[in-house]
């Protein structure tokens, strides 16, 4: 194994800012026969998670018509699929909302980009009427670049030199990472999510978001791939364009996106992004 890769994989265990109660809630919510009373008990144990869920449940993006003031109410009214989305969003806000070394991203930049791709992915699944993908699109989009949180710490002048050589040979940044580290941020992100018991359909979408043509169940990874591209190109959420960024035309063709669909996705994503981006906790 590439020596750097061994060190990087060890780091997965050290992402400690995730509350144990959130991970426990995810495990419970993965069970089709979940007891929602137990989920409430687990979440209620963590005041930060509880207040984030209530904030999100009352936001115009997730919200119901009436305001929700108790956790039990939120869980009953929103249902297990939405609560899963809110718990993962709450974890993501803690992990992604910080300076990311190596990618030159300041505090909040990766977070904003992740929110933009989450909203775009969910919007695309509705506009394109992709029922299966609609269940996982938001969370896959939100978590797609989570591997950068770990990988960013491993950039040094030697790595940067190797990456710039790969880029000069017209490799994408994603391929250059793989050459330098033996693993790229997409694969690393998927491994991190597996360690948190995030279901495989979600971690696979993250794993293949730069190469969706290689994903067996490719619909969600293709949507995330497409939305990553359109958010960056249309400057929705802050993210400087990675060098040698490419859209896999072959993968995206399967989604049959018309020009009208494309315009609608961009317009609706811009609106929803503005509604949702400020409702999570800011970094301390
Ligand atoms: Fe990425
Ligand atoms: Fe991205």
Q: What is the pLDDT of residues 18-72, one digit of tens each?
A: 888 888 999 999 888 999 999 999 999 888 888 888 887 888 777 666 788 899 9
For residue range 217-246, what is the model confidence (pLDDT) as tens digits? 778 999 999 999 999 999 998 777 777 888
Contacts of 39-48 with CB under 8 Å at 24 or more apart are 39/75, 39/80, 39/83, 40/71, 40/72, 40/75, 43/71, 43/75, 43/87, 44/71, 45/21, 46/19, 46/21, 46/22, 48/19, 48/90, 48/281
For residue range 57-70, what is the model confidence (pLDDT) as tens digits? 888 777 666 788 89
Proximal ligand: closest to the CA of 206: 1
* Ligand 1 center from residue 130 Cα (angstroms): 22
* Ligand 2 center from residue 185 Cα (angstroms): 10
Q: pLDDT category, 95, cuts 50, 70, 90?
A: confident
Q: pLDDT category, 188, cuts 50, 70, 90?
A: very high
* Ligand 2 center from residue 27 Cα (angstroms): 26
At 283 the pLDDT is: 43
Rounded to a whole number of angstroms, the distance between the first and last alpha carbons of the chain is: 37
Q: pLDDT category, 280, cuts 50, 70, 90?
A: low
The rounded percent of the chain whose pLDDT value lies above 90 is 51
User: Is residue 141's pLDDT more than 60?
Assistant: yes
Proximal ligand: closest to the CA of 105: 2
At 159 the pLDDT is: 94
* Higher per-residue pLDDT: 16 or 186: 186
* Higher per-residue pLDDT: 283 or 189: 189
Q: Which CATH class is domain 3-14+99-276?
A: mainly alpha
* Ligand 1 center from residue 32 Cα (angstroms): 30
> What are the boundaries of each domain within the chain?
3-14+99-276
* Higher per-residue pLDDT: 121 or 93: 121
* Ligand 2 center from residue 32 Cα (angstroms): 30
Q: The whole model's pTM is what?
A: 0.90
Q: Identify the H or E element spanning 27.
A: helix 20-29
* Ligand 2 center from residue 180 Cα (angstroms): 19
Proximal ligand: closest to the CA of 188: 1
């Amino acid at each position: 194994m590439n020596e750097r890769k061994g060190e990087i994989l060890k780091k997965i265990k050290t992402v400690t800012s995730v509350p144990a109660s959130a991970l426990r809630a995810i495990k419970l919510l993965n069970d089709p026969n979940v007891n929602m009373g137990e989920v409430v008990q687990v979440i209620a144990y963590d005041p930060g998670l509880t207040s984030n869920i209530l904030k999100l449940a009352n936001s115009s993006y997730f919200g119901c018509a009436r305001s929700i003031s108790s956790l039990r109410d939120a869980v009953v009214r929103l249902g297990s699929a939405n609560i899963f989305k809110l718990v993962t969003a709450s974890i993501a806000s803690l992990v992604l909302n910080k300076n990311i070394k190596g990618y030159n991203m300041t505090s909040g930049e990766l977070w904003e980009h992740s929110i933009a791709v989450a909203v775009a992915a969910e919007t695309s699944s509705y506009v394109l009427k992709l029922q299966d993908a609609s269940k996982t699109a938001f969370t896959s989009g939100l978590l797609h670049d989570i591997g950068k949180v770990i990988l960013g710490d491993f950039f040094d002048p030697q790595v940067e030199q190797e990456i710039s050589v790969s880029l000069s040979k017209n490799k994408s940044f994603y391929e250059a990472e793989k050459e330098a580290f033996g693993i790229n941020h997409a694969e690393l992100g998927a491994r991190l999510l597996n360690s948190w018991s995030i279901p495989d359909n979600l971690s696979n979408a993250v794993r293949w978001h730069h190469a969706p043509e290689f994903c067996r169940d490719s619909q969600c990874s293709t949507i995330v791939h497409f939305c990553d591209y359109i958010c960056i190109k249309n400057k929705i959420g802050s993210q400087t364009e990675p060098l040698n960024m490419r859209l896999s035309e072959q993968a995206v063709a399967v989604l049959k996106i018309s020009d009208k669909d494309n315009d609608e996705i961009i317009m609706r994503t811009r609106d929803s992004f503005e509604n949702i981006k400020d409702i999570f906790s800011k970094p301390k």
